[in-house]
């Protein structure tokens, strides 16, 4: 009967995982929504910054040199 205990332990762990699946799925969806928002924010910032870079005519242009400075 020693082999029954490990089998029951494994089954109980899997049952707990399946029972908590809806909560886990909701948590994952919430986290994914947050990550999508962060992705969009970063993408927008990169797009804005690359527009500034392309608008500069060269490194001697005073406007280009000011892009790296914080106001």
User: For the segment 10-62, what is each residue's pLDDT rounded down to a tens digit?
Assistant: 888 888 888 888 999 999 999 999 999 999 999 999 988 877 665 565 656 66
**pTM for this entry:** 0.51
**By C-alpha distance, which of 44, 42, 63, 41 is closest to 53?**
63
Q: To which residue do tokens 């089998």 refer?
A: 7
Contact 64, 56 (CB under 8 A): yes
């Amino acid at each position: 009967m020693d082999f029954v205990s490990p089998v029951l332990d494994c089954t109980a762990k899997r049952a707990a995982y399946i029972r908590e699946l809806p909560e886990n799925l909701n948590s994952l969806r919430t986290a994914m929504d947050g990550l999508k928002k962060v992705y969009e924010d970063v993408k927008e910032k990169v797009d804005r910054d690359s527009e500034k870079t392309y608008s500069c005519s060269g490194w001697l242009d005073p406007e280009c040199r000011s892009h790296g400075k914080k106001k």
